Amino acid sequence: MLHLALNFLKQVSRESCDSFHFETAGRSCYDLASDQTRLIIEGGERMKWRAMFISGLRMIAIVVLGLVFWGEGTGLGAEVIKGKVASAQGDGIELDVGSAEGVGLGDEGRVYYTIMIDGKETSIFVGKFKVTGVLDRSARGQIVDRTGEIKVGYGVEVAVRVGELAVSSDPSGAAVYLDRKEVGKTPLALSKVRLGRHQIRVQREGQENWEREVDIEGDRKVEVYAQLKSVEGGLEIRSEPNEAKVWVNGREMGLTPLVMSAKAGQYLVRVFREGYEVYEEWVQIEGGGQKNVRVSLKKILGDLTIQADPSNAIIYLDGKAVGTGTYQGKGLTPKVYRVRVVKEGHEDWERDVLVEEGKKVEIISRLGKKEKEVTVPSPAPRPKEKPTGSMVSQKPPGEIDWAKKVWEAPAWKVGDKWTYKSAAGAPWTGEVVNIEGDWVIAKFSWQNDLSAFNRKTMNLDHLITTEGKKIEGSVSFLQKLLDFPLQVGKKWKNEAPKNTFNSFEVEVVERVSLPAGAFMAYRILYKQDKYEYNRLGHGVFKVGEGWLRYWYSPEVKFWLKMEREKSKFWEDQKRYQEFELISYRLK
């Protein structure tokens, strides 16, 4: 249409110049093809008729072009974005406007240049295009219709399809973000929103953020209503000393001081720092309220009393003289202490004593007198007897008071191996494969990864892949199943429970008989209490408890067997099956 109109006007202008004659001696016309007035006959007497003719022809051209342009205009529901042709090659052009200005894929537009008519700038449109690619500050277009050559620097108009959007909220006065850009406050009406899907966020201080995705269509106004909810509450936890671990409803949240948002309901707060007692408190958070928890952690201490006989014997604690006859140790850090009592002419008395948290330990040390030495002729040496069988028993020498004995961690060696049989009859093995610094690395046949144990405590510290990479956060709630030194009555906990509370206790020492032999062993009770967070009831509730018993033998240097509570609690945890030792090998 545009092409036909331009050709028609050009032809009319030429024919007018060639065939129209004034009665006067001069004639002229406006040639639309060259944008200039051609003087056909110089001179003339009635110049006013020539001027009227030229102005009329110009007016006709402008009106006709305008009708053609608006007849093929951008249409309703569109916003025009103007730019220029940055490059042109064949039917492809590049624009100097892009998504930052609102141009999108599929938008349509036109190319034009301008001419001056009576001192006024007039646009002449020479082509139509469709946007095929968009960058932040530029776009690509494909020409779909043209009336002439398109050159760099020509103007472009892109018709961006837009619709209407209205946003309201309760309460009002909330900030409205359209595609992460703030566009006003509620109530808000926007009349030039691009068609398509948009993200809307409404937020107001003291209220929860409201977010939705909406589709803007050109034929209707989209109305959005946001019912804002008040922020329900908060929880602030501080402790003395700081940097204590915090669990809320069985989930580790961080270190004190800690500030967190929380919905209305009941919460179990646990605060722990090594060397201090665990603090627990149930707190209730009301809607919109703030709950402050202030904790003064109590250092875990124990007492030790030593009474010497005779009363003038010197008492040593961890190699340091602490008194004569009697020692009263108040507020001692829980651990194993080496106690030694000496007096000239008497046998030395020496023991490992475990001081537990919150308990008082009393010891009476009776020193026997040394007997006079009597020289007895030494008998002829006897040849050493070689042990028979494939294994040599490594029992601790002499008579042992197991109730008081404290055992340090075993000295595992590469090649030490234990073979077990599960209750279902399936065998599995554990073998020491490497020793690196503070870690003893063992391979268990029921898993691909290696297990790294601390050489001093035998805590399971982490797992290692077959490629030698440490797996962070890989240990389970049984990471402290062993915690040396061991002594009857010792208790400890796993301080990373997640949704379980785990406790351990050395119950007793007893003799155990099994296929690998008969051994003295420490019986260790492991108890697990499991909790879940009930969102409907807004609280934490105990959902189960169970126990496992393990027998550790200092002679074997590892487990003898494990027994499991016969309860529904362990039915789904098939990994924890009963087992017993059938053979072992120590290097």
* pLDDT score recorded for residue 53: 53
**The pTM is what?**
0.37
Q: What one-character DSSP code corresponds to residue 117? A: E
pLDDT-derived band at 46, boundaries 50, 70, 90: very low
> Of 132-136, 284-288, 538-542, where does mean pLDDT reach its minimum?
538-542
* pLDDT score recorded for residue 211: 92
| Rounded CA separation 270/249 (Å) | 8
pLDDT-derived band at 471, boundaries 50, 70, 90: confident
pLDDT digits (tens, 9 = 90+) for 145-175: 988 889 999 999 998 878 889 999 998 999 9
* pLDDT score recorded for residue 582: 92
> Of 133-142, 285-294, 386-395, where does mean pLDDT reach its minimum?
386-395
Q: Please check the confidence at residue 71 and state whether its pLDDT lies above 60.
A: no
Q: Please check the confidence at residue 128 and state whether its pLDDT lies above 90.
A: yes
* pLDDT score recorded for residue 57: 54
Q: Which residue has the higher pLDDT, 531 or 576?
A: 576
Q: Which residue has the higher pLDDT, 228 or 60?
A: 228
Q: Please check the confidence at residue 38 and state whether its pLDDT lies above 90.
A: no
pLDDT-derived band at 420, boundaries 50, 70, 90: very high
The mean pLDDT of the chain is 78
The single residue listed with the structure tokens 């389970």 is 476
pLDDT digits (tens, 9 = 90+) for 311-365: 899 999 998 999 999 999 888 887 888 899 999 888 888 888 888 777 788 888 8
* pLDDT score recorded for residue 395: 42
As a whole number, mean pLDDT of residues 179-197 equals 87
As a whole number, mean pLDDT of residues 1-28 equals 44
* pLDDT score recorded for residue 397: 41
* SS3 category, 492: strand
Whether 158 contacts 94, CB under 8 Å:
no
* pLDDT score recorded for residue 503: 86
* pLDDT score recorded for residue 481: 85
* pLDDT score recorded for residue 99: 82
* pLDDT score recorded for residue 496: 54
| Rounded CA separation 250/104 (Å) | 49
| Rounded CA separation 184/178 (Å) | 9
* pLDDT score recorded for residue 499: 66
Specify the DSSP element, H or E, that contains 134: strand 120-134
* pLDDT score recorded for residue 302: 83
pLDDT digits (tens, 9 = 90+) for 435-453: 888 889 999 988 888 888 9
* pLDDT score recorded for residue 2: 46
- Going edge to edge, which strands form the sheet with 539-553? 470-471, 460-464, 450-454, 439-444, 427-436, 417-422, 579-585, 558-564, 539-553, 517-534, 500-514, 491-493
Q: Please check the confidence at residue 520 and state whether its pLDDT lies above 60.
A: yes
Structural domains of the chain, ranges and CATH numbers in brackets:
2-71 (no CATH), 75-230 (2.40.10.340), 233-296 (2.60.40.1120), 304-366 (2.60.40.1120), 417-585 (2.40.360)
- Going edge to edge, which strands form the sheet with 258-261? 258-261, 233-240, 289-296
pLDDT digits (tens, 9 = 90+) for 234-271: 889 999 999 899 999 888 889 999 998 887 788 999 99
pLDDT digits (tens, 9 = 90+) for 376-416: 454 545 444 433 333 333 444 445 667 677 888 999 999 99
Percent of the chain at pLDDT above 90?
30
pLDDT digits (tens, 9 = 90+) for 483-517: 999 998 899 887 555 567 788 999 989 899 998 88
Q: Which residue has the higher pLDDT, 180 or 475?
A: 180
pLDDT-derived band at 289, boundaries 50, 70, 90: confident
pLDDT-derived band at 23, boundaries 50, 70, 90: very low
533-552 burial, b at 16+ Cβ within 10 Å, e below that, comes to beeeebbbeeeeebebebbb
The torsion defined by the Cα of 246, 248, 252 and 255, in degrees rounded to 10, comes to -30
Angle of CA points 64, 65, 66, to nearest 5° = 90
